[in-house]
Amino acid sequence: MTRLSVNINKIATLRNSRGGNIPNVLEAAIRCQEYGAQGITVHPRPDERHIKKQDVFDLRPIVNTEFNIEGYPSREFLDLVIGVAPEQVTLVPDAHDAITSNQGWDAKKHNAFLKDVVSELQSYNIRTSVFVETDVNNLEATKETGTNRIEFYTEPYAKQFPLNKEAAVKPFTIAAKKALELHLGINAGHDLNLENLKFFAIKVPGLLEVSIGHALIADALYYGLEKTIHLYLEQLQ
C-alpha cells in the first residue's frame, strides 16, 4: 500500500490569517496520525506565510510516523532540517516567492549542487527525495545525485486527468518504470485528490508515498478530517 503523508501547510495558513493559535498545527498533526495518516509533511518557506520555523521544531516530538520536510535547499533550510532530523527531506527548486511548487529540478544543470546537498543530508542519516518531472533523461541525472528517492510533480497529471486520464498518467508510468530500473524510490505530490488519486496509484508502479495537502484539507471542510483521511487511504488500498 502507498503511504499517505498529510501536508499541513494549509492549516498553518488559516492560523496565520487570524493570528493566535487556532487552528492548532500540532493538534492537527496529532489527529492526522491518529486517523491513519502515515506521515506529516511541511514546507517552511522563507517568508513563513504558513509553516513557521518554530512549528518545525515543535512538530518533531509530535510526529511519530514519518516527518517529511520540503523546501529549497538554502543554507538556512539545510541548517533547519539538520537540526530537526526528520525522516525525509524533499528538495524542491522553488523560488523564494513561489506561491506553490510549480516545477521539478533540472538535475543535469544543478547536478553538482544537488550532489553536495544530498551528501550532506545523508551524512546525518536523513533520507532524501528530489522533486522531478517525467523526463527519463533527467531521471538518470537525478540518480547521479545519490538521492534515495524522487517525488513526481503531478500537477500536469491532475490538469489532464478530466480530459484523458490514460494520456495523463502515461508519462508517469513510463518514468516510474525508469526510476525503478535506476533503483530510485518513488513519491508523488501536487494536486492529487479524491478524483484522481486511485487511478494514479494503480497506474504508477512502485509508488511508495504521496504527499497531499491542499485538496485533503479542503475536503476536510466538507467531510471532517477523520473521514477525509479515511477516504484518501481507501484510494490507496
Please give the backbone phi and psi of residue 190, each rounded to the nearest 5 degrees, phi first.
120, 110
Q: Is 114 exposed, middle or buried (0-12, 13-18, 19+ CB in 10 A)?
A: buried
Catalytic residue among 66, 70, 151, 209: 70
Distances (CA, A) of 30 to 13, 38, 214, 215: 18, 11, 18, 19
Q: Which domains does the chain have, with CATH numbers?
A: 3-235 (3.20.20.70)
70-88 core/surface letters (b: 16 or more CB in 10 A; e: else)? bbbbeeebbebbeebebeb
The per-residue pLDDT string of the chain (237 residues; one tens digit each, 9 = 90 and over) reads: 899 999 999 999 999 999 999 999 999 999 999 999 999 999 999 999 999 999 999 999 999 999 999 999 999 999 999 999 999 999 999 765 555 666 789 999 999 999 999 999 999 999 999 999 999 999 999 999 999 999 999 999 999 999 999 999 999 999 999 999 999 999 999 999 999 999 999 999 999 999 999 999 999 999 999 999 999 999 999
Q: Where are the beta strands (DSSP E) in the chain?
A: 3-7, 39-42, 67-71, 88-91, 127-132, 149-153, 185-189, 207-212
All cell numbers assigned to 2: 502507498
From the candidates 43, 50, 133, 151, which is the catalytic residue? Answer: 43
Q: Specify whether 43 is catalytic.
A: yes
pTM of the predicted structure, to 2 decimals: 0.95
Catalytic option among 50, 151, 190, 209: 190
Across the chain, which distance is largest between two alpha carbons, in Å? Answer: 49
